[in-house]
Every structure is written in structure tokens, then in C-alpha cells.
């Protein structure tokens, strides 16, 4: 499709600015550009059509099934969008006087409490802008806490081999060294292995539970015990919280710090890769280490922004986080309520197990038994037909299904991770299950159709090698 720059015509403009109504002020020419930036010169209808065409080239949750494992692509309610567009939320300056933003501050205060209750944590910051940003914040809190309390020798963080790549990257950014712990045959943390590497210098263990294989770490209480006895903190990666809302809380499992991806579990839209919101919750003893500022309520029931946090790690971003994003999560929490959030988790787990069971009839699963909200297929059973997981992924596009997450977690060969979420109906799942079955049969009888897929998209497989070798990253 043509680029917007190719549609540019000198002299066109899509916007008329009112005439300048004040006298012009002199300006030294040395400050001004000699050549204007090459932005497109076009007009309103062209811009509308351009983006309309581009929208059609995207798969989205609204368009169809999007079982991207570990990303929780649930439906994004339009109600949330409408309210987040109200002028009294959208056009608020962050430096307005507190008396003029009491509505926003109340929402922040209540949301902090709701998220604390949902995760079993005592205090929450809304500041982090994304999941990985939350991880960094959490690890910085742990680091500062340990340093302040005489544990300067604790320099390492344990991360399972099945963990999200952001976990080790975030821990590293917080200044820790990474120690990887291997998963056992059941796909969970190997307790014996863990004990072996649990040396005195271990600051924290980062876990997601259920883990990235969709399996609940059933030994979590024992892991917690091992950690506690070594003054090691437990960090919970909340990417998979959608499986357990109202059923079990990270805080009750023994976790000390939690981040939540509000864009996953609490339905704020992913927006092509952001903005997200990666709020962080901590247990009471870590409260004074949260990034500043935090919203509090005075004795007179006035909400205020508290910058005075004793051992605060500092700021992790400007202002107070992605307000318009977490506002949507707040609306979702109120819409669903205590009862609905729990139901959402139960149905996400029901959907995943239903798909897993039905698909086990013709595909190999990485691990047997019940799963939580996602499960992993081991695609290597199609190797003898010369078909790879990536080929299956591409073929799914011809059925209007967004491919699942592929080649992650790294510990499963030819991995394909499916997460249906609770917002898909049984009818939809049945259709998708049949589509997968068709593709597996094709792999055995007509593998070429898969290897050359997709066939129905405007663009076929792209040459990534060329893109990386001959960098072309702007017009």
C-alpha cells in the first residue's frame, strides 16, 4: 500500500488554523529551519481513507479470534473507551491544583485499593507504564529494601527458564545478576534444583503463577518457605493473573511484590503494542519504598498527592502513570465486580481446558493434565511432514485466526501457546478447534499449502533477512 508520503501534494493541507490574532514578535532567523520537515501535505479525506485502508490490514480482537498466549487478548469494552474520552478525564493537566482534580484522585485512590485487594498486597503504585516497567519498578523496590536493611550481599535474582524475556531484562536493569532455574518434567520449578542454587546472595525469585506453560506452580507454598528462610523476596509477574482472579491471590501465596498488566487482565486495549499499565503492589514492609508520588486520603476525606515517601526508589516516569489507561481498568473492575472478575477467571480456565482437551485428540501438548488460562502445543510432531510451527501459524491466518504465540516458552520445542480468554464463546471455540484439525490434516496430506501460507492476506511471507540486512526504516 502507498505510503502517506507518496500521497503528498505541495500546497495541500488538512487543517486550518485561525489567523494569528496577536502582533508578530521578531525572531532571529538563525533559530529557524531553512527547510521544513518533510511531513506529508495532504487533506482530510485522503488521511481518513489512508488510515481506513491501514486498519483493514490489521487483525484485531474486534475482528476475530486472537489467542495470543501470555498476552491475554480479551475483549475491550467500548464503555471503557467512551468514559475515558469524557473531557473531565481526558483534558486534565497533571499540574492542576489538587482541589480541581478530586475526581481523578479518588479514582486513583480506589483503584490502588482494588488492585491491592485483587493481588493480596497492602500498597499499590499506578505509576509504571507497562508490564516490563512494573517489573523494573518492583526489582528496584526489592534492591532498595535489601540495601537499606543490610543485605548488600544479595546481588542475584533467580528466573525460571520458562519466564518472560522481560523478567531477566528488568532484573538486569535493576542491577542484579541473573541465575536461571530449570523447569522439571512437569513444567514447574524444580524444587531440588531451586534448593541447590538458593545461596545467600539470592535477592529475589521472579515467578509467574500460573507459569508460561499455563501450569500452576503447585509447590508455591514450599517455594515461598525456601525463599523466606533465606531472606529472599518473591516477585510475582502478573502477566497470567487472568487465570486466578478471586480464586487465589499472589499475596496469599507468599509473594512480596506483584506487577499487573492492566492491558491484559483488566481489559484495557493493547493499542498495537501500547500504551499499557504495569501497576505494582507490595506488602506492608515494602510500602515506604514505592516510587513517588502516591495518592492518599486525608482525615477530612480530601485526596492528595503524597511526594513524601520515606525510602522511595524515586520516580520511574513523569507525572502519575497512564491515567487514561488505568481509568479503563477501574471502569472494568466496577463493571465486572468482585463476582464478575472471579467468573472471568473461571471461564478463561474453562475455555483453555476445553480447547486443550479437544485439541489433544490431534495435536501433542507440551504437558498433560489440567491447565490454567493457556496451554502449549509441542509442534514437533509435524516434523516428519516437513511442517514447522511457524507454518501452522501462517496457515491459521487464512482462517481469519490470529496465530498463537510461537516459539515461546523457549523450553518447548516448536512451541505454540494458546490463550482463548473468557470472552470467546463455545461456538467460536468449536469452529477454531475444527480449523486447527483441518490444518493438521493438511500438514499430513498437502504440506505445501501450509508451507506457502498465508494465501488470503494482502501480503505473503516477508523477507526478514533482507529487512535486517538492508535497513530501510524511513521514507
Partner 1 sequence: MYPYLPHTDEDINKMLKTIGVNAIDDLYSDVPELLNRDLNIPNSISEINLKRSLREKASLNDNIRDFGCFRGGGIYNHYIPSIVYQIGAKRGFLTAYTPYQAEVSQGTLQIMYEFQTMISELTGLEVSNSSMYDGATSVAEAILMAGRINKKYKTLIANTIHPEYIEVCETYLKPQEFNLEKINYDKKTGKINITDLKNKINDEISSVVIGYPNFYGIIEDIEEIREIIPKNILLIVVSNPIMLGAFQSPGKLGADIVVGEGQPLGNAPGFGGPGFGFFSSKKEFIRNMPGRIIGKTIDDNGKEGFVMILQTREQHIRREKATSNICSNHAHNALLAAVYMSIMGRTGIKEIAMQNYHKSHYLYNKLIKTEKFEPVFEGTFFNEFALKSKISIDKINKKLHEQKYFGPLNLEKITGEKNIALFCATELNTKEEIDFICSFLEGII
What residues numbered 13-52 form the site for partner 1, per CB under 8 A? 13-15, 17-18, 20-25, 27-28, 30-33, 36-42, 44, 47-48, 50-52
Report the residue from 150, 192, 272, 308 that binds partner 1 according to the rule CB under 8 A.
272
Q: Give residues with Cβ within 8 angstroms of 472, minimum separation 6.
A: none
Query: Look-up: residue for cell 509442534?
Result: 379
Q: Which residues pair with 378 in a beta bridge?
A: 415
> Residue 126, Cβ neighbours under 10 Å: how many?
26
Q: Which range binds partner 1 by CB under 8 A, 1-9, 198-206, 230-238, 279-287? A: 1-9
* CA 98/CA 92 separation, integer angstroms: 11
Task: By CB under 8 A, tell whether 241 contacts partner 1.
Answer: no
Nearer to partner 1, 189 or 344 (CB): 344
Nearer to partner 1, 2 or 444 (CB): 2
Give the torsion through C-alpha atoms of 29, 34, 39, 42, to 10 deg: 90
Nearer to partner 1, 94 or 386 (CB): 94
The half-sphere exposure of 156 on its side-chain side, counting CA atoms within 13 A, is 14
Write out the binding residues for partner 1, residues 372-401 only, by CB under 8 A. Answer: 372, 393-394, 397
Task: By CB under 8 A, tell whether 463 contacts partner 1.
Answer: yes
**What are the grid coordinates assigned to 302, written together?**
480530601
Task: By CB under 8 A, tell whether 285 contacts partner 1.
Answer: no
Task: By CB under 8 A, tell whether 228 contacts partner 1.
Answer: no
Nearer to partner 1, 51 or 285 (CB): 51
Write out the binding residues for partner 1, residues 413-452 only, by CB under 8 A. Answer: 422-426, 452
Nearer to partner 1, 263 or 384 (CB): 263
Task: By CB under 8 A, tell whether 148 contacts partner 1.
Answer: no
Radius of gyration of the chain (CA): 25
In order, the DSSP letters of 226-286 are HHHTTT-EEEEEGGGGGGTTTT--HHHHT-SEEE--HHHHT----TTT------EEE-GGG
Cβ burial 314-348 (10 Å sphere, 16+ → b, else e): eebeeebbbbbbbbbbbbbbeebeeeebeebbbbb
> Which among 208, 149, 140, 148 has a CA at the least distance from the CA of 176?
140
Q: Which residues pair with 304 in a beta bridge?
A: 296
Task: By CB under 8 A, tell whether 304 contacts partner 1.
Answer: no
**What are the grid coordinates assigned to 347, written together?**
471461564
Write out the binding residues for partner 1, residues 355-374 only, by CB under 8 A. Answer: 357-358, 370, 372
Q: Provide the sign of the torsion angle of the four alpha carbons 385, 386, 387, 389, taken in this order.
A: positive
Nearer to partner 1, 444 or 452 (CB): 452
Task: By CB under 8 A, tell whether 149 contacts partner 1.
Answer: no
Minimum CB distance to partner 1, residue 154 (Å): 13
Write out the binding residues for partner 1, residues 247-266 only, by CB under 8 A. Answer: 247-249, 252-253, 263
Minimum CB distance to partner 1, residue 445 (Å): 23
Report the residue from 196, 200, 271, 384 that binds partner 1 according to the rule CB under 8 A.
271
Write out the binding residues for partner 1, residues 310-339 only, by CB under 8 A. Answer: 313-325, 331, 333-339
Q: Are 325 and 263 in contact (CB under 8 A)?
A: yes
DSSP conformation class of 365: B
Minimum CB distance to partner 1, residue 44 (Å): 6
* CA 234/CA 46 separation, integer angstroms: 53
* Total binding residues toward partner 1, as defined by CB under 8 A: 192
Report the residue from 346, 378, 385, 435 that binds partner 1 according to the rule CB under 8 A.
346
* CA 113/CA 107 separation, integer angstroms: 10
Q: Which range binds partner 1 by CB under 8 A, 197-205, 274-282, 376-384, 435-443? A: 274-282
Nearer to partner 1, 188 or 384 (CB): 188
Print the binding letters for residues 159-178 with partner 1: x by CB under 8 A, - otherwise.
-----xxx-xxxxxxxx--x
Task: By CB under 8 A, tell whether 56 contacts partner 1.
Answer: yes
Give the torsion through C-alpha atoms of 251, 256, 259, 264, to 10 deg: -30
Nearer to partner 1, 83 or 431 (CB): 83
Q: Which three-class secondary structure state does DSSP give residue 150?
A: coil
Q: Are 457 and 413 in contact (CB under 8 A)?
A: no
Minimum CB distance to partner 1, residue 3 (Å): 6
Report the residue from 71, 205, 226, 359 that binds partner 1 according to the rule CB under 8 A.
71
Q: How far apart are the first and last CA of the chain?
A: 13
* CA 246/CA 340 separation, integer angstroms: 9
Write out the binding residues for partner 1, residues 84-123 only, by CB under 8 A. Answer: 85-97, 100-104, 106-107, 114, 117-118
Report the residue from 131, 160, 379, 420 that binds partner 1 according to the rule CB under 8 A.
131
Minimum CB distance to partner 1, residue 380 (Å): 20
Q: Which range binds partner 1 by CB under 8 A, 196-204, 239-247, 282-290, 438-446? A: 239-247
Amino acid at each position: 500500500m502507498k505510503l502517506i508520503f507518496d500521497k503528498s501534494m505541495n500546497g495541500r493541507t488538512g487543517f486550518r488554523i485561525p489567523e494569528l490574532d496577536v502582533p508578530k514578535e521578531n525572531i532571529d532567523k538563525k533559530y529557524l529551519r531553512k527547510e521544513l520537515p518533510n511531513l506529508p501535505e495532504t487533506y482530510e479525506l485522503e488521511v481518513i481513507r489512508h488510515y481506513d485502508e491501514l486498519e483493514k490490514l490489521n487483525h484485531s480482537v474486534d475482528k476475530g479470534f486472537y489467542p495470543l498466549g501470555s498476552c491475554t487478548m480479551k475483549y475491550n469494552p467500548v464503555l471503557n473507551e467512551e468514559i475515558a474520552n469524557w473531557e473531565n478525564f481526558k483534558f486534565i493537566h497533571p499540574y492542576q491544583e489538587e482541589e480541581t482534580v478530586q475526581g481523578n484522585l479518588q479514582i486513583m485512590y480506589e483503584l490502588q485499593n482494588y488492585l491491592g485487594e485483587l493481588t493480596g498486597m497492602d500498597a499499590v503504585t499506578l505509576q509504571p507504564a507497562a508490564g516490563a516497567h512494573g517489573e523494573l519498578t518492583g526489582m528496584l523496590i526489592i534492591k532498595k529494601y535489601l540495601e537499606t536493611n543490610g543485605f548488600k550481599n544479595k546481588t542475584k535474582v533467580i528466573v525460571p527458564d520458562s519466564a518472560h524475556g522481560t523478567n531477566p531484562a528488568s532484573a538486569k536493569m535493576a542491577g542484579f545478576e541473573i541465575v536461571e532455574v530449570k523447569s522439571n518434567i512437569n513444567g514447574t520449578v524444580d524444587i531440588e534444583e531451586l534448593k541447590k542454587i538458593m545461596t545467600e546472595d539470592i535477592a529475589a525469585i521472579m515467578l509467574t503463577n500460573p507459569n508460561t506453560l499455563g501450569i500452576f506452580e503447585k509447590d508455591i507454598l514450599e517455594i515461598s518457605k525456601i525463599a523466606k528462610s533465606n531472606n529472599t523476596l518473591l516477585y510475582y509477574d502478573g502477566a497470567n493473573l487472568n487465570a486466578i482472579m478471586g480464586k487465589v491471590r499472589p499475596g496469599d501465596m507468599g509473594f512480596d511484590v506483584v506487577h499487573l498488566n492492566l492491558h491484559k487482565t483488566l481489559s484495557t486495549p493493547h493499542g498495537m503494542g501500547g500504551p499499557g499499565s504495569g501497576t505494582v503492589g507490595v506488602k506492608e514492609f515494602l510500602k515506604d519504598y514505592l516510587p513517588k508520588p502516591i495518592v492518599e486520603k486525608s482525615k477530612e476525606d480530601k485526596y492528595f498527592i503524597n511526594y513524601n515517601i520515606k525510602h522511595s526508589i524515586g520516580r520511574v516516569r513523569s507525572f502519575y502513570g497512564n491515567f487514561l489507561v488505568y481509568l479503563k481498568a477501574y471502569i472494568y473492575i466496577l463493571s465486572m465486580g468482585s463476582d464478575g472478575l472471579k467468573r472471568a477467571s473461571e471461564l478463561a480456565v474453562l475455555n483453555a481446558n476445553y480447547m486443550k482437551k479437544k485439541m489433544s485428540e490431534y495435536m501433542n501438548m507440551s504437558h498433560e493434565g489440567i491447565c490454567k488460562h493457556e496451554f502449549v502445543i509441542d509442534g514437533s510432531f509435524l516434523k516428519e511432514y516437513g511442517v514447522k510451527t511457524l507454518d501452522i501459524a501462517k496457515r491459521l491466518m487464512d482462517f481469519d485466526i490470529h496465530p498463537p504465540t510461537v516459539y515461546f516458552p523457549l523450553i518447548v520445542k516448536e512451541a505454540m501457546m494458546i490463550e482463548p480468554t473468557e470472552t470467546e464463546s463455545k461456538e467460536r471455540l468449536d469452529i477454531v478447534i475444527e480449523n486447527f484439525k483441518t490444518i493438521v490434516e493438511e500438514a499430513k496430506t498437502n504440506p505445501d499449502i501450509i508451507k506457502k501460507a498465508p494465501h488470503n492476506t494482502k501480503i505473503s511471507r516477508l523477507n526478514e533477512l533482507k529487512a535486517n540486512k538492508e535497513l530501510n526504516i524511513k521514507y
